[in-house]
Amino acid sequence: MSTRALFREDAYRTQCEASVTAIDEMGMHLDQTVFYPLGGGQAGDAGTLTLADGTKIVIADTRKAKFEGATPDDAVHVPAPGQEEALSLLKVGDRVSAEIDWERRYRHMRLHTASHLMCAVLPYPVDGCSITRDYARLDFATVEPIERERVEARLAELIGGAHDVNTEWITDDEMTARPELVRTMSVKPPMGLGRVRLLRIENVDLQPCGGTHVRNTGEIGGLRIAKLEKKSARTRRLVLELV
């Protein structure tokens, strides 16, 4: 009952029709989805599932499925609390219309793409990363001082440079042979499906990533460093916000 991850083919797709393949204590499983499940540091999507009779189920979050044999693409759509009546109408095999909260997702896409730019601006290993609607938080393993003004100026330059953002695929074996591509120590490359997706920002960055991104760095818009602090003796934490 694998989920087809439509967001990986087209991050701008906001809606799809799907069949309910399972319902468990975590939520609903669909045969295909536009909802991104929490992973790789990026928050899960919220949105709605609309039943054939028009009943809407509000989805508060999306998580990776935990069942035996689940692939990294298998997602669970987690309902917001207090919807027992709507949920009681839903059965396995039902057709639903799945639609994400696009305003929230687009912020994830802009902040996520910005975090790739950060990897180009600060050439240190990343040992923690969290991308939400409101901020991107990155922990860099370095003892070097980080200058806020210089980083903001370089980011603005890369955003203004309007670099194209594209995906490429390599096999799991090719990925294993190129460990230098991995920038984020805390996030394993999305392996296990036989192939790994690489995210290329033209002339800026190349690394394995299964998240959702904008098509061009120009879409990120204004950014500021909201926080820059020493997280530990060997780690600097940086929080980016959209302006």
Q: Find the shortest distance in angstroms from Cβ 208 to Zn ion.
A: 9
With contact defined as beta carbons under 8 Å apart, do 196 and 175 qualify?
yes
Q: Does 211 bind Zn ion (CB under 5 A)?
A: yes
Nearest distance from C-beta of residue 105 to Zn ion, angstroms: 14
Q: Which is nearer to Zn ion, 120 or 199 (CB)?
A: 199
Scanning 25-33, 120-128, 167-175, 201-209 for contacts with Zn ion by CB under 5 A, the matching segment is: 201-209
Give min distance, CB of 138 to Zn ion, in A.
12
| Nearby residues of 134 by Cβ (< 8 Å), 6 or more positions away | 107, 241
209 binds Zn ion (CB under 5 A): yes
Residue, CB closest to Zn ion = 209
CB proximity list for 131: less than 8 A, separation 6 or greater? 41, 42, 43, 108, 111, 112, 115, 137, 211
* CA pair distance 210, 201, nearest whole angstrom: 14
Distance in angstroms (rounded) separating the CA atoms of residues 65 and 88: 21
Strands (E) located in 112-158? 126-131, 136-141
Q: How far is the CB of 59 from Zn ion (least distance, A)?
A: 22
Q: Which residue stretch of 78-86, 165-173, 179-187, 196-204 sits at the interface with Zn ion (rule: CB under 5 A)?
A: 196-204
Residue window 142-181: x/- pattern of binding to Zn ion, with contact defined by CB under 5 A: ----------------------------------------
With CA atoms as reference, report the closest residue to 242 among 110, 153, 149. Answer: 110
- Shortest distance, position 152 Cβ to Zn ion, whole Å: 21
Q: How many residues bind Zn ion (CB under 5 A)?
A: 3
Residue 234 CB, nearest distance to Zn ion (Å)? 24
Contact 58, 80 (CB under 8 A): yes
In the bound state with Zn ion, the residue whose beta carbon lies nearer, of 5 and 199, is: 199
Region binding Zn ion by CB under 5 A among candidate stretches 8-16, 101-109, 125-133, 208-216: 208-216
Q: Which of 209-232 are b and which e, b meaning 16 or more Cβ less than 10 Å from the residue's Cβ?
A: bbbbbbebbeebeebebeeeeeee
Where do contacts with Zn ion occur on this chain (CB under 5 A)? 199, 209, 211
